[in-house]
Structure 1
């Protein structure tokens, strides 16, 4: 199967799923359901011939007259047990298991602890996994007359815009080494990780390999960060990847980067992108990592008391794959200013306005109230609502964000970040930033600042300073003590119901500060991009310029400056030989490869990105004038609080 873009990649492989679902009950897990949503949603399955669609849950089963089942799954050990339970409680005679993960990885996991190196080296892993899975299905069905099939279909991407793609099944993949941010050893390989982490590396690499195969790409691999070196190692050396590179013909550059090298951008509350703000304020759409739940009660007659916990009313969301006008608006939420998004929404809503509000041309400013007025005019008019449901959901999502009390919190936190930035730039080692944060934690209730956002501010500060600033030990002790008290007061909310003693809160506070100090050490391995606090080019003072931003600006620079931090996977051995023989140590040869030597460049960030980052990186590429196609991929869109939880392992 071949695809020309990431969006096409998803569409091509979903069509393979639709070919198998006629007359079947379809069971799918949350990541697959999110991928389906971005391809068109539930009705793609129902209109394609599925008789029912259910969640992949051990509590689900099917009616006795339903004889065919299709399972869309990540094929983990837990999910296989779930499939066993569903089959045991149903009466199927035909089962199809669609594995979203490559069978060579599944084979390794099915045979964990056994020596299967000969099978893997000979490239027989996928065939053996197919046999094992089909034998399991036959045994679980337990009938002589039955049909089973196990097939790998790489459903793992969504494409919110034409240049951005995300991977919902890998939303929890994060650069850690046996749970730590910094590996214990410099001689890093897969077996220094836990079995779960090892599996995540292989699964992510297998997904990227499937993407390359479908797009007929033969890649040069580059990486920044220790974890990314492991992912590129699997891509470089796995027999399945080696076989694919022999057959693919289009040259490409794949750049994999650890999120942990720069956590400033993702923990900053100063976001210009409308999508980032919406994702910060509104709750997640159930089961999704990249979409929000929009309260639809303003359009309906139902009396909803608390949303989204009140299940009388299904939530709306932001992305509507089958409505071109909505996909354009979603793109604007990533790439345009708030003012442009508001005018876009008002323009589209004014065409369905039943009250005939002022023309967009006569308005100097579109406010949340003016958008809300048009939306409210459609209340109860279900004919209008059903025709324009997508744009109404998007408009409500933006209005609810802009009118939320959380907006004032975000503005205050942004102001605090700016103060910290200038304080660090001015005073460096003599800074009292940690004392200021300790005071903020003590007075957080008076200022209406949630503790989790202040923890995000702590991660932001430590990542911003890197190794350039050493905070006084006494200040770190004060911060730890203040944090311990705050954690004791709020740990049930912060830790989702867990109950901790004062001593446990002390220990947790110590762990969090130690982890934040690890965050500040992440860029010490970098030579050129080790600082993100730069003198401002447009105004007085200093500004944040992220590692990714610096990398992309160098990448598209026509002068082709040195990028010593971007390691080329194929050059590791050559570098060792050169240094050992003491040849060419002073300068690189002119023959050194550059990512832009290939027409397609994919930058993949392990651990999440923001819409704002994607917009800035894309803008740098566009304004540079290079002809290369540059795609930006990541495991998920992330908010400051989520980025903090990932970094601090909360």
Structure 2
């Protein structure tokens, strides 16, 4: 059987093909691939392989005359905006050698170009190579385009994620309506379980093909013959595509190892995604600290306390943030594993132990404290390293994890976390004894603008344990995903009308809560499509008040 190490290290092997081309090159990388690299050795891996620089994949980037080689690493199709950006960068630079890596397989490029027949070679990639030479201004210059499955980010020995496919989500009921709208009456699907790969929107088909191709690479590297199981409509589509993958059929004949792979639609367990489970440190860190720009799996750690700078409104713009991904230090990696897999109390104590051991090793004046671990205590240990640059560099991984823990423990939203956890437990107790409207009614008292109705004008500060719009939305999702667990009653028309009235009241109250926020959270920006409260206030506030009056 393949070992855990085989599956942990295969994402690093996916990058070897890219690293072999980066010597004396400037590398341009999009967010999806950059995040995968972030957990697979980081920028240091490319610089050690000979890269001259690593830049954002943006039309506003360029290279000088003495930088003739470029490597582009993207997680998207070589079409549309991606092509425009590559052309923009090449047009204002002086390249003589361009290499493009895409994590989208050639078969998906054929699909995007509406080519259904099997073709020899990689004609789409070959045509793009000609375009690269044309943009460089000389058809005798060198251009290469190839596939590299650099989608996987090894978060830990037990967890691998695909940041570039973060938006790949299971099909929902509205998707069935959209799919059926384009099909003849006699060929409409009765349910999501009947949907097949070819009926999916093109963009979704390409994402599935990218995932399947990357999974096949994983099984090739680990010499594995997979036995797949699917739970949910989307998982069935993915397993079907994997079963029919051309290269997979050849691999299974010679694979030495065997593994059972279970695909589960996220919609089968929404409570696991939105619930506040309360007993894991990393879960809290990822929830309360801000994400790194362009990332979906790592957060910003304020490292000001590792310096002698004074905290001012502008100090955050001076220092680049720290993070959770610590690839260079084995000690930091072992601490990260403990934080990820242990209970909250054990993980926090382990963070303290690592900080004390690091300080003792560097002969810093550390005083070991017993009893409860506090954020002030952790910060006091971290500050000891300010006086020694060598000590700071040797233990920077552990120090960043220590600061992430301290900043989480003292974060004001942690009180709201505990309040949500308590309310979720109350809802679970109530679900078995009451009908759904009765359980839903318990959310109404929470649907109040934080700090009271006049908080924006009177300057009243909201209590730290008051739920904001984000928490209220998560609680609603949590509750509706468990609706079938509520006590079943034979609803008549009057009860259905009562439920609809209650839902309108909740919608109106939640909308008013949103409009009275001072700024929109990232979640609300995604849901509303707006960046400022003022942009939505004039539109939805009147409807919210009307909904409340009708109730």
Q: Is residue 27–residue 56 contact of structure 1 (8 Å, CA) maintained in 2? A: yes
1:83 equivalenced with 2:78 (yes/no)? no
1:95 corresponds in structure 2 to 98
Q: Is residue 75–residue 151 contact of structure 2 (8 Å, CA) maintained in 1? A: no
1:459 corresponds in structure 2 to 477
Q: Is residue 157–residue 166 contact of structure 1 (8 Å, CA) maintained in 2? A: yes
**Distance in 1 of aligned mates of 2:477 and 2:176:** 13
Q: Is residue 282–residue 339 contact of structure 2 (8 Å, CA) maintained in 1? A: yes
Shift of 1:467: 6.5
- Cα offsets for 1:416-475 (capped at 9, x unmatched): 11111111122235x523222122012543553211111111001111223655783332
Residue 462 of structure 1: SS of its match in structure 2? helix
How many residue pairs align between the two structures? Answer: 498
Equivalent of 1:135, from 130, 149, 170? 130
2:116 corresponds in structure 1 to 117
**Distance in 1 of aligned mates of 2:134 and 2:35:** 31
Shift of 1:51: 1.2
1:450 corresponds in structure 2 to 468
- Go from structure 1 to structure 2 and tell me whether the alpha carbon gap of 1:307 and 1:221 turns closer, same or farther (over 3 Å shift): farther
Equivalent of 1:500, from 509, 518, 536? 536
Residue 153 of structure 2: SS of its match in structure 1? coil
1:480 corresponds in structure 2 to 507
Q: Is residue 295–residue 307 contact of structure 1 (8 Å, CA) maintained in 2? A: no
- Go from structure 1 to structure 2 and tell me whether the alpha carbon gap of 1:245 and 1:106 turns closer, same or farther (over 3 Å shift): farther
Equivalent of 2:397, from 374, 390, 394? 390
Give the TM-score normalised by structure 2: 0.83
- Go from structure 1 to structure 2 and tell me whether the alpha carbon gap of 1:216 and 1:509 turns closer, same or farther (over 3 Å shift): farther
- Go from structure 1 to structure 2 and tell me whether the alpha carbon gap of 1:273 and 1:141 turns closer, same or farther (over 3 Å shift): same
- Residue pairs, 1:618-629, within 5 angstroms: none
Q: Is residue 19–residue 46 contact of structure 2 (8 Å, CA) maintained in 1? A: yes
Equivalent of 1:379, from 382, 386, 389? 386
1:319 equivalenced with 2:353 (yes/no)? no
1:39 corresponds in structure 2 to 40
**Structure 2: unaligned runs, 5 residues or longer:** 181-188, 452-461, 489-495, 526-530
- Go from structure 1 to structure 2 and tell me whether the alpha carbon gap of 1:181 and 1:392 turns closer, same or farther (over 3 Å shift): farther
1:298 corresponds in structure 2 to 305
**Distance in 2 of aligned mates of 1:196 and 1:509:** 39
- Cα offsets for 1:36-89 (capped at 9, x unmatched): 221221121112111111111111111111111111112422222211111111
**Distance in 2 of aligned mates of 1:165 and 1:307:** 36
**Distance in 1 of aligned mates of 2:91 and 2:415:** 53
Shift of 1:395: 0.3
Residue 60 of structure 1: SS of its match in structure 2? coil
**Distance in 1 of aligned mates of 2:117 and 2:502:** 56
**Distance in 1 of aligned mates of 2:484 and 2:176:** 14
Shift of 1:311: 2.3
**Structure 1: unaligned runs, 5 residues or longer:** 512-650
Give the TM-score normalised by structure 1: 0.71
1:13 corresponds in structure 2 to 14
Deviates more, 1:295-304 or 1:177-186: 177-186
Q: Is residue 491–residue 500 contact of structure 1 (8 Å, CA) maintained in 2? A: no
- Cα offsets for 1:315-366 (capped at 9, x unmatched): 0111211111111111111111222222222222223336533346xx2333
2:186 corresponds in structure 1 to none
**Distance in 1 of aligned mates of 2:300 and 2:546:** 35
**Distance in 2 of aligned mates of 1:28 and 1:231:** 27
- Cα offsets for 1:578-620 (capped at 9, x unmatched): xxxxxxxxxxxxxxxxxxxxxxxxxxxxxxxxxxxxxxxxxxx
**Distance in 1 of aligned mates of 2:375 and 2:95:** 52
1:67 corresponds in structure 2 to 68
- Go from structure 1 to structure 2 and tell me whether the alpha carbon gap of 1:89 and 1:247 turns closer, same or farther (over 3 Å shift): farther
- Cα offsets for 1:156-199 (capped at 9, x unmatched): 11222212111111111111359648876323123443322222
Q: Is residue 73–residue 102 contact of structure 2 (8 Å, CA) maintained in 1? A: yes
- Go from structure 1 to structure 2 and tell me whether the alpha carbon gap of 1:510 and 1:418 turns closer, same or farther (over 3 Å shift): farther
1:621 corresponds in structure 2 to none
Shift of 1:246: 4.2
**Distance in 1 of aligned mates of 2:546 and 2:11:** 44
**Distance in 1 of aligned mates of 2:450 and 2:425:** 18
1:358 corresponds in structure 2 to 367
Q: Is residue 304–residue 313 contact of structure 1 (8 Å, CA) maintained in 2? A: no
**Distance in 1 of aligned mates of 2:200 and 2:546:** 24
Shift of 1:307: 8.1
